[in-house]
Amino acid sequence: MNTLYFEKISRFDRVLEPVTVSIPFAEGILSDPQALIIRDGETLLPVQSRVLATWPDSSIKWLLVHFQPNLLGNTDKTLYFEIDETRRVSESQTGLTVKKTGRGIEINTGPLSFLVPNDGFLPVQDVSLNGATLWTDVPFSGFTLRHNGRDLTTLSGPVILELEEAGPLKAVILVKGKHRTGAQVPYLDFRGRITAYAGKPYIEVEYQFIHAEEEAELSLEGLELAFRPHLGMNLQANNTKSAEAGSAKLALGQGYYRTAIQTSEDAPLEMSLSTETILYQENEHFIDSFYGDFWVDWRNAQGGMTLSIYQAHQNFPKALRVTQEGITCALYPQDAPPAPLFQGMAKTHRLQLHFHTHDTPIEECSVRSLQFQLPDRPALSRAWFREHNPWREAFFPEQIPDRLITVLNRLHDNRPKALGMFHFGDAPDAGYTNQGRGQGANVWVNNEYDRPHACALYYALTGQRRVLDSALVSARHWLDVDLCHYSPNPLYHGGLKIHTRYHVTGGVTPSHEWTEGFLDAYFLTGYTEALEAAHSVAENILRHLQRPEMRRPGATSVREGGWALRALVGMYIGTGEDKWKYEARRLADLYLDWYDAYGALLAPYTSHSMPRVTFMISLTINSFARYLLIEDNGDRAERIKKLIVETVDDMLAHCIGPDGIAYYKELPSLRRTAPTYHLLEALTHAYRITGDIGYLKIATRQFAAMSPDSGAGQRAKYADPSGAVIDGEGGGRVFADKYTSLLIYAGAATPLGLLDWYEYPY
């Protein structure tokens, strides 16, 4: 059960490969992070850890763990972790050092040393390899962003440096600042991250630009990072002639099946990933995990550097050019059509900078770049998540039909694939689009209803790598595009935008804001911006809850407060901060008053009606069940249990058609047959409270009437006017909409034999 499983990926051996895993622990199990040991057979591996969350008794809930195992090519591997207060982690043979100076932060990994300056985001300078200075002090020119015909740069200007990790195996430096105009006027925020590993000659660089200015819209016209090593400078002490040192060898690699490598000793090499490239390039990978590789290499007698763009194809357009003078990395090429950058939007790019000797085989550089694109990540067992469940809800049943896993895989995998710099990580929805909500344009679902959370839970259940990748990619899209980083409107600022055309042209409402997926992203990776985003969204929800209609029973849609309640409960479970429990309690009391006032959870619809809406009422009932995870005793809890059961009974009395199947809404014009997965879960909660199996039998009838579709339909890949390339059509939200309800229902029904008919026959 306490295993770390590495599935077979690369055919090459990886020696002391940097990997990270986040491990949850039940309350009271682990108090000292140094007591966690990881074994490869009988060998204890050096470990670096960081506590991400604790339980009320101060024991560790989530522990982020870094280590460097040896992984053999073409095979899987299982390691073991234990809690042992008597043994301590062995020291790293190649420790990493971090030193703060007046100029910035110096990092030494062993083979590589560099400075992250506190003036500008270059991103690094003073680079040395194996003790020898490479090229000049400042080989990078900073990130240059062109908007509305103006250039902004990160080359100079004060920045804030923060150590998120400080060795001995891994160092992470956060960088915050503003771009500068040519006249040194600050404009447009940026965030950066530099990651270095003990014993390794490569680093990872993240750069995020953020539109938090007063203009409603900017035009993004270019984004570049230049590497100019200034040939012939700082020669090694072997009396190499300047001309020889200045003659560079060039290489470029790109591929989605096998990487095609071009080399040159004089002529420039360049390639663009454009709409046409993506539209006409065949690819069968699950794009959240992998598409291909895109890198350039420049080297002379002093040494070389390979620059790789992470998920370049998924985030096209991109371009790379390498000449004798150096490298130009176009994260948004200037010859691409300008892209609208609306107020509150951001975008993050990741790069790998691999510094190497002049004679390092180019194939070795290519393999390291591929490892960057698809790194090794160990998986925990389902049994571990069941016993150390940080989410509290029964998301890890011992028995569910294998056939249901097949259906969930299809639901997860088959949503429309969307590629493009502002679009990857999200999907359009044909249902919303056909309703005309996009005014003729595709409507993006903005990862409704919390796809990052659904994927994180499904990954914990099954250990499937692509599901973890999907959780992180969806959360990354949220963090960049759908999260409103700035608005003068307090009801927009810090919130998640509702499904709409071009992601951010709609408003913000609590029924389409989620916190749990952000929290999962933080707990699975340690990325502090995900935790900050969860707080940002929760604070936005609180501002919405101050609106008069959100404080008066029956004045707004039932689901508005229902989703808000789940977001606040998720914040309390994730952070343990009493503030969120208090706000959740206040909202629960509002619904209790609502129910008492009307005898049901009725809400306004047409000007003359307050119909029951099965899926909205069920959704809110399910949020009340989540509330019981944080307050299961006392008068309020008993009133909530009573409300759950009586509301379910009320729906069964008023929302079921003559076939015994639920309909959509309680109006003659809307009584079409529409069984909802949220009702399955609501019926399951009524069963849990009463022990009456009849609720599960009714749920099973609803389940039998539903045929979970696979999400995306077949359609030729096409270029969307918004700049995306889209493969498939259909529901972009079907997996997140269904997952938790299906799992909670199946986890209760399967042990009782109610789903025997649904299992595979053999």
Mean pLDDT for the stretch of residues 23-41? 96
- Report the C-alpha gap between 323 and 553 in whole angstroms: 67
Contact 213, 187 (CB under 8 A): yes
* pLDDT surpasses 60 at 43: yes
Specify whether the CB–CB gap between 90 and 39 falls below 8 A: no
Which tokens sit at 428? 């359009």
| pLDDT confidence tier of residue 538, bands split at 50, 70 and 90 | very high
Q: Is-contact 502 344, C-beta < 8 A?
A: no
- Give the angle subtended at the CA of 648 by the CAs of 558 and 596, to the nearest 5°: 60
pTM for the complete prediction?
0.96
Average pLDDT of span 529-546: 97
State residue 553's pLDDT score. Answer: 82
pLDDT band with cut points at 50, 70 and 90 for residue 239: very low
pLDDT for res 710 = 53
Q: Binning pLDDT at 50, 70 and 90, where does residue 1 land?
A: confident
| 462-509 pLDDT tens trace | 999 999 999 999 999 999 999 999 999 999 999 999 999 999 999 999
Per-residue model confidence (pLDDT) at position 730:
81
Q: Which residue has the higher pLDDT, 553 or 517?
A: 517
What is the homologous superfamily of the domain 97-373 according to CATH? Golgi alpha-mannosidase II; domain 4 (2.70.98.30)
What is the predicted pLDDT for the residue at 720? 93
Q: What is the pLDDT of residues 106-131, one digit of tens each?
A: 999 999 999 999 999 999 999 999 99
Q: Are 731 and 431 spatial neighbours (Cβ–Cβ below 8 Å)?
A: yes
pLDDT above 90 for 670: no
Arithmetic mean of pLDDT, 518-523: 98
Distance CA 457, CA 747 (A): 14
Percent of the chain at pLDDT exceeding 70: 96
| Host H or E run for residue 653 | helix 635-654
Q: pLDDT tens digits for 306-342?
A: 999 999 999 999 999 999 999 999 999 999 999 999 9
- Name the band, by pLDDT with cuts 50, 70 and 90, for residue 712: low
SS3 of 138-198: the string is CCEEEEEEEECCEEEECCCCECEEEEEEECCCEEEEEEEEEEECCCCCEEEEEEEEEEEEC
Determine the average pLDDT of the residues in 279-305. 95
Asked if 309 and 294 touch (Cβ cutoff 8 Å), the reply is yes
Residue 243: pLDDT over 60: no
Q: Residue 731: what pLDDT?
A: 81
- What is the model's pLDDT at position 604? 76
CA distance 327 to 706: 55
pLDDT of residue 206: 98
| Average pLDDT of the chain to the nearest whole number | 93
Q: Which of the given ranges, 5-19, 551-565, 652-666, has the highest pLDDT on average?
A: 5-19
Question: Would you state the pLDDT for residue 715?
Answer: 77
Cβ atoms 53, 61 nearer than 8 A: yes
pLDDT digits (tens, 9 = 90+) for 135-147: 888 899 999 999 9
- Secondary structure of residue 429 in the 3-state scheme: coil
- The share of the chain scoring above pLDDT 90, in percent, equals 84
What pLDDT shows up at residue 230?
78
Q: How many CA atoms lie within 13 A of 651 on its CB side?
A: 32
Residue 352 has pLDDT above 50, yes or no: yes
The rounded distance, in Å, linking the Cα atoms of 446 and 733 is 9
Amino acid making up residue 380? L
CA 256 to chain centre: 23
pLDDT of the residue at 558 = 83
Check residue 241 and give its pLDDT. 37
pLDDT at position 235 over 70: no
What local confidence, expressed as pLDDT, does residue 88 receive? 57
Q: What pLDDT shows up at residue 647?
A: 95
pLDDT of res. 232: 41
What are the boundaries of each domain within the chain? 3-83, 97-373, 380-546+692-762, 579-691
| Over residues 77-90, mean pLDDT | 82
720-743 pLDDT, tens per residue?
A: 999 999 998 888 889 999 999 999
Residue 750: pLDDT above 90?
A: yes
- Predicted local distance difference test score (pLDDT) of residue 240: 43
What pLDDT, on a 0 to 100 scale, did the predictor assign at position 244? 44
Mean pLDDT of 537-563: 90
Tens-place pLDDT, residues 249-282? 999 999 988 999 999 999 999 999 999 999 999 8
The whole-number pLDDT of residue 303 equals 95
